Chain A
């Protein structure tokens, strides 16, 4: 494994002194903790600063730390194509989780955020099209949350599920399939 080129932290800490938290680095990736209200500004700064140029958004990941509080987290992985640096941004969220959308900074965030909404119920404010992406429309609950059983809740279509709150969704057999 080659030595990772190190990230120039000075401009970041100078600009966001006292707002963000520097969590050091792990396995070649620098980590910052950012409060939700600063996330868009922080991402835009990383993307547009001439010395940083984090122009590539690799991934957005939702995390459920149940039963800890704050319970939810979004994790952003950024890559700088010119500098070959990676950075991880972590954003702790309360319950219900809300965070501003970064779709205005990178268009690729669109589907990543839809996935995090679908799986964890993290609401991305300002997202242009926040619909479920994997589960069908009308699905109740957020399947990747820690308190959602692996086999789902028992209902007519899922006899092996866990006994739980009765599903509130309309009967699938008679449900009209949404168009478009």
Chain B
């Protein structure tokens, strides 16, 4: 905090007001990572906001140019680290479009199911974190309890809790483990009631309502102009969901509603996410019911490891194939592709330029949080410093994705 002493004037002097520059972050619990906001304050009213980002910049796009396509999956995990399966899926789809292949149906169901689990996991975090930013700690603890169930499911499928890297070009890494379906059915049975608990906990909290309803309103025009996507856009009344409007994978076989709200305030953004979790549970249930037996990865020796891993131990060709794919990767035909999915935060797009080699010539990540953070400029009626915290929390930026 700078220049606070300027406001302490001696008695009798003319009132001399001056704008105060307040540095919020980069280390601040309510910035959800390392975000630095330079706020120009007139008293407690925010006149101007200038976000400084880049504290987590790791050069994902530059790094990707020196990695093979399979090696890039772990990099994508670290974009939106709250929901890595979505990032994996977005990248895999882009490469598959370039190659002109599609994953087997079973793999598509597995990926969609995991992406929806990730969506719940991401939304749970903000469902709890927004009330916590505004002083209501309890919701976060309940949300973390359920998130732990998802972490356990992830661990069961992939062996990792956070950075799953489970997708591969042309499928997923391995099939679902034995005993997984009962576990996820149990989760689907329990979870909708828990959502009701959060709502009772938060929606009856008058302080929370006062601090979010009518605060940080973004109009539909502003939201589109600022490029918002995902729940942030739908909370402003724009009915757009890539899962429905440009269906990828098996989403055209699944029934779900696109949640919209008219208000465009912080509370609407929070509600949108809560309702989307219900829809995600519906999608997961349908995935379990519809999932056919079959391959979990394409049977293409030039792209994927041998489907039958035992072959590597007894066949020279399979061993060479395994070695070649690990060491060299696979050639991707020259071309350009932009492929977008509906990630939990919004439109996650990968623009890949291939020059025919096993490494991308250029990979651009259209990170939803990066764009959504610009919503800070579209908010018209968040006047107080305390409102800024509510707005920031409700936009739900993940700084690792903002900074790439």
Residues of chain A whose beta carbon lies under 8 Å from any beta carbon of chain B: 1-2, 4, 26-27, 29, 55-59, 61, 63-64, 75, 77, 81, 84, 86, 88, 106-108, 110-112, 115, 119, 132-136, 143-144, 150, 179-180
* Set of chain B residues within 8 Å of A81, measured between Cβ atoms: 224, 238, 240
Given known contacts A26-B337, A63-B353, A180-B21, is B66 in contact with A150 (CB within 8 Å)?
A: yes
0 or 1 for each of B364-375: is its CB under 8 Å from A? (1 = yes): 101000110110
* Set of chain B residues within 8 Å of A136, measured between Cβ atoms: 54
Residues of chain B whose beta carbon lies under 8 Å from any beta carbon of chain A: 21, 38, 40, 50, 53-54, 57, 59, 61-63, 66, 97-98, 102, 224-227, 238, 240, 245-248, 252, 335-340, 347, 349, 351, 353, 362, 364, 366, 370-371, 373-374, 377-378, 403-404
Given contacts A58-B349, A106-B225, A111-B371, 8 further A-B contacts (CB under 8 A): A58-B338, A63-B362, A75-B351, A107-B374, A110-B374, A119-B61, A134-B54, A135-B57
**Contact between B248 and A55 (Cβ–Cβ < 8 Å)?**
no
**Contact between A150 and B338 (Cβ–Cβ < 8 Å)?**
no
Residue in chain B with minimal CB distance to A111: B374
- 7 nearest CB pairs, A to B: A108-B227, A134-B54, A61-B364, A59-B366, A134-B57, A27-B337, A27-B97
Given known contacts A58-B347, A77-B338, is B377 in contact with A143 (CB within 8 Å)?
A: no
Residue in chain A with minimal CB distance to B40: A180
**Contact between A111 and B336 (Cβ–Cβ < 8 Å)?**
no
* Set of chain A residues within 8 Å of B374, measured between Cβ atoms: 107-108, 110-111
Residue in chain A with minimal CB distance to B404: A134
**Contact between B61 and A180 (Cβ–Cβ < 8 Å)?**
no
Question: Closest CB-CB distance, A142 to chain B, in whole Å?
Answer: 11
**Contact between A77 and B337 (Cβ–Cβ < 8 Å)?**
no
**Contact between A133 and B54 (Cβ–Cβ < 8 Å)?**
yes
Question: Closest CB-CB distance, B34 to chain A, in whole Å?
Answer: 12
The contact of B61 among A4, A56, A144, by CB within 8 Å, is A144
Assembly CA distance A144 to B57 (angstroms) = 12
**Contact between A107 and B53 (Cβ–Cβ < 8 Å)?**
no
Given known contacts A108-B374, A180-B38, is B54 in contact with A143 (CB within 8 Å)?
A: no
**Contact between B102 and A107 (Cβ–Cβ < 8 Å)?**
no
Residue in chain B with minimal CB distance to A137: B52
**Contact between A143 and B349 (Cβ–Cβ < 8 Å)?**
no
* Set of chain B residues within 8 Å of A107, measured between Cβ atoms: 225-227, 374, 377-378
Question: Would you mind naming 26 contact pairs between A and B with Cβ atoms under 8 Å apart?
Answer: A2-B247, A26-B335, A27-B337, A56-B224, A58-B340, A59-B338, A59-B351, A61-B364, A63-B353, A63-B362, A75-B364, A77-B351, A107-B377, A108-B225, A108-B227, A108-B371, A111-B371, A111-B373, A112-B371, A119-B61, A133-B53, A135-B57, A150-B63, A179-B21, A179-B38, A180-B40
